[in-house]
Structure 1
Amino acid sequence: MENSPDARGAMTSGTEKNTIQDALPHVTGGRRIGWAAVPGEVAAGIERLLGGRVTGAVSQPGGFSEGLAARVRLADGGRAFVKAASSRTAPAVAGFHRREIAISRTLPRTVPAPRLLDAYDDGDWVALVFEDIPGRLPAQPWQPGELEHVLAAVTDLTQALTPSPVDERLLARPRLGGWTTLANTGAGRERLATLSPWAARHLDDLAVLEERGAPALTGRTLLHGDLYPFNIMLRGRRVFVVDWPHAWVGAAHCDLVTLLSGVSLSGLDPQPIAERHPLTRSLAAAQIDAVLAAHSGFLLRTATSAGPRTDHRLVDMMTALGLASLRWLRTRRGRSLLG
């Protein structure tokens, strides 16, 4: 018998069971390093950018990148946020940092993102120095008031970033899609069956839906591309969006749907929110479904292909978010995915 959603919108039987505690075990990766682990010559180079000696550093929660992510305090009382990674030990993260440097330098000052103060790159280590935003991550489970502030900020963000102010040559391909890859990979199918038997049975239909929906993702808006609670900072009623290496240009509603796809993990139903939000309330159903298909496909393809050295916290988070996105898509499409 197929699983069915309970009152909180989560699958409650079989291997697709999710609770808030199970779905959100961590919002921070397990491979962060402290300031003391940064090589001395690299730390000295960062201090030259800061204009002073670092006397204190506190590693920050949120996000899954390897390397340093810390608020630092200087001898003269100044503060900044610094993140850094080595190309030798974390090449993908270092590549993301280099891309984020280029993006951050071209974001308009009207965008609610921390300002990049300077950057360090010696060919191996790359570091970004941002203004320090004395804020915090949104509470999880989502609190309705905080969620409403963030949803309003997403609307403002799309207005500020349409048309995109960033040269597309600086950007990566959107991290979307994966059902076709899973459909053509035996091991992927087997792993998917342990996470979502329903998706494994409907894998070919999901691949078709993903392919058909691709044109609906096109647009002129610069999108964050990774809009989850761990990339959002709150300071009173102000909302800041951090970590921009995965930005891409597409349809204005994509970031919103990505964010909403995970709210069921907090016991909230995303559908009524989408029906009233200005970025989605007038859309054809297929436009939202296209994002959900591509988004869930990327997350679950990545989770099922992760090797044994991949941070298990990242895999757990991607699995939870992918299943949540898939559940919303399944609810919206009913029995016929391709109807």
Structure 2
Amino acid sequence: MSMSRIDWDHLPETVHQAVEAHTGPVLKAETVAGGLNSQIAAVVFTSELRLFVKGMPSGHSQIRAQEREAAINPYVAPRLAPRILWRVQEAGWDLLGYEFADGRHANYAPGSPDLPRVLRLAGDLAQLDTPPASVVRNIGQRMSEFTDPDAAARWSTGRTLLHTDFAPHNVLLGEERDWLVDWAWPTVGPAWVDPVVLILRLLEAGHTPAEADAVCRALPAWQNADRAEVALFSAASARLWTSIAEQQPAAPWKTHMARMAKHWCRYWAALD
């Protein structure tokens, strides 16, 4: 569920003071329009630096996602993600302060020159060490509602760190380097899971299933994927997106994602 965005100036003064204990005086703050899962998302400027600050009320139903993001950060920053520099919990608010990532959102359209850079990030992620179970859930646990217990148990043996939300607004491309951001759903599982996630986003951006499949063939994890397991996971993903769309019918993009997930399943099944 997305949150309504508020501006920096609407936070309590005690929250401003707690942040400035880390940053020094804040000269201005610019609300960021993109993203769905934070009530505060702003670029904050001081006399010496700029930071990205995101957060939400500490009692919000989605606060666990922010806690997961804070927990995974030491395992993915600075190689793939901006570092969290501080966390402020004050006056009913929970804020994370990140080093600023100067970049633009990736373009996933067919033929986009951004696609090799997105694939490079996905490939780099697959090479990271696996965080301990205390930090991340496994994909079998996360998808157990949408598949059979045997499949969930097999997927749970995978040890690759996964992002699981390769939406284009979670990929920032800069002049000197690129970042994978918004780590609300870090997971461990088989390496081919993130390529399936990415493929659904490529379909959302206008690729055909065959085109999206071909794009991801550059990833070793996709080249080596078990076809039967991919079919099972793709079906589970379609059930997940259908459930999301049914729960939030006022969000057309979620209905579109459910439709794309089913479209992908039909394509994959027809290859056999």
TM-score by length of 2: 0.87
> How many angstroms apart in 1 are the aligned matches of 2:49 and 2:93?
23
Residue matched to 2:172 = 233
> How many angstroms apart in 2 are the aligned matches of 1:318 and 1:295?
12
> How many angstroms apart in 1 are the aligned matches of 2:39 and 2:83?
20
What pairs with 1:274-293 in structure 2 (closer than 5 Å)?
274-293=216-235
> How many angstroms apart in 2 are the aligned matches of 1:127 and 1:77?
20
Q: Deviations over 1:270-324 (max 9, x none)?
A: 12224443211122211222331222221211221238xxxx4xx3333222221
Identify the match of residue 206 of structure 2 among 231, 251, 267: 267
Query: Could you tell me whether the CA contact under 8 Å between 2:85 and 2:98 is conserved in 1?
Result: yes
Assess, with a 3 A threshold, how the Cα gap between structure 1 residues 253 and 270 changes in structure 2: closer, same or farther: same
2:237 maps to a residue whose letter is H
Assess, with a 3 A threshold, how the Cα gap between structure 1 residues 61 and 216 changes in structure 2: closer, same or farther: farther
> How many angstroms apart in 2 are the aligned matches of 1:142 and 1:127?
37
1:334 and 2:270 matched: yes
1:145 and 2:117 matched: no
Query: Could you tell me whether the CA contact under 8 Å between 1:33 and 1:66 is conserved in 2?
Result: no
Residue matched to 1:305 = 247
Query: Could you tell me whether the CA contact under 8 Å between 2:138 and 2:188 is conserved in 1?
Result: no
Residue matched to 1:176 = 143
Residue matched to 1:60 = 32
Residue matched to 1:256 = 195
User: After the TM superposition, which of the residue ranges 281-290 and 31-40 deviates more from structure 2?
Assistant: 281-290
- For these two proteins, the number of residue pairs brought into alignment is 266
Assess, with a 3 A threshold, how the Cα gap between structure 1 residues 320 and 304 changes in structure 2: closer, same or farther: same
Q: Which runs of 5+ in 2 are unaligned?
A: none
User: After the TM superposition, which of the residue ranges 284-293 and 28-37 deviates more from structure 2?
Assistant: 28-37
> How many angstroms apart in 2 are the aligned matches of 1:274 and 1:212?
27
Assess, with a 3 A threshold, how the Cα gap between structure 1 residues 287 and 302 changes in structure 2: closer, same or farther: same
Assess, with a 3 A threshold, how the Cα gap between structure 1 residues 291 and 59 changes in structure 2: closer, same or farther: farther
SS at match of 1:144: coil
Residue matched to 1:134 = 102
2:143 maps to a residue whose letter is L
Residue matched to 1:201 = none
Query: Could you tell me whether the CA contact under 8 Å between 1:225 and 1:255 is conserved in 2?
Result: yes
Residue matched to 1:194 = none
1:234 maps to a residue whose letter is L
Assess, with a 3 A threshold, how the Cα gap between structure 1 residues 255 and 99 changes in structure 2: closer, same or farther: same
Q: Deviations over 1:191-234 (max 9, x none)?
A: xxxxxxxxxxxxxxxx6xx6564345331112112221121111
Query: Could you tell me whether the CA contact under 8 Å between 1:168 and 1:248 is conserved in 2?
Result: no
> How many angstroms apart in 2 are the aligned matches of 1:237 and 1:251?
30
Residue matched to 1:80 = 51
Q: What displacement does 1:103 show? A: 1.8
> How many angstroms apart in 2 are the aligned matches of 1:123 and 1:287?
47
User: After the TM superposition, which of the residue ranges 149-158 and 294-303 deviates more from structure 2?
Assistant: 294-303
> How many angstroms apart in 2 are the aligned matches of 1:156 and 1:39?
40
Identify the match of residue 13 of structure 2 among 32, 40, 50: 40
TM-score by length of 1: 0.71
Q: What displacement does 1:172 show? A: 4.4
Q: What displacement does 1:142 show? A: 5.5
Q: Deviations over 1:220-251 (max 9, x none)?
A: 11211222112111103632011112111111
Q: State the 4+ residue runs in structure 1 displaced beyond 6 angstroms.
A: none
What RMSD in Å do the two structures reach over aligned CA positions? 2.6
What pairs with 1:154-165 in structure 2 (closer than 5 Å)?
154-161=122-129, 164=130
> How many angstroms apart in 1 are the aligned matches of 2:94 and 2:103?
25
Q: What displacement does 1:167 show? A: 2.3
Q: What displacement does 1:70 show? A: 0.9
